[in-house]
Amino acid sequence: GQVYDHNLNQKKVAIEYYEKYLDKGPTGQQLFNTAEGKSSSLEQQVKERIDKLKEDLFFENQLE
């Protein structure tokens, strides 16, 4: 998902891959967000990224 998201700017495809990742279930991995100074689960960060991408698509009138 990250390649489609960050390198190819294909938000819809990125969302599909992020959602497939979430469908596999929790991994228990934690990531530290230096900007916020706290840890959160990888799944939570993926969900937040999906929300952001959907918001971007909405404002670009590309969300179906």
Report whether pLDDT(64) > 80.
Answer: no
Report residue 62's pLDDT band, with 50, 70 and 90 as the boundaries: confident
- On the question of pLDDT at 43 being above 90, the answer is yes
pLDDT score recorded for residue 3: 92
C-alpha torsion sign, points 3, 16, 50, 55: positive
The stretch 30-55 carries a mean pLDDT of 91
pTM of the model: 0.82
Q: Token match 């937040």: residue? A: 48
The whole-angstrom separation of Cα 3 and Cα 34 is: 22
What are the Cα distances from residue 55, in Å, to 11, 12, 32, 38? 11, 11, 24, 24
For 5-39, write each residue's pLDDT tens digit: 989 989 999 999 999 999 998 888 998 888 888 89
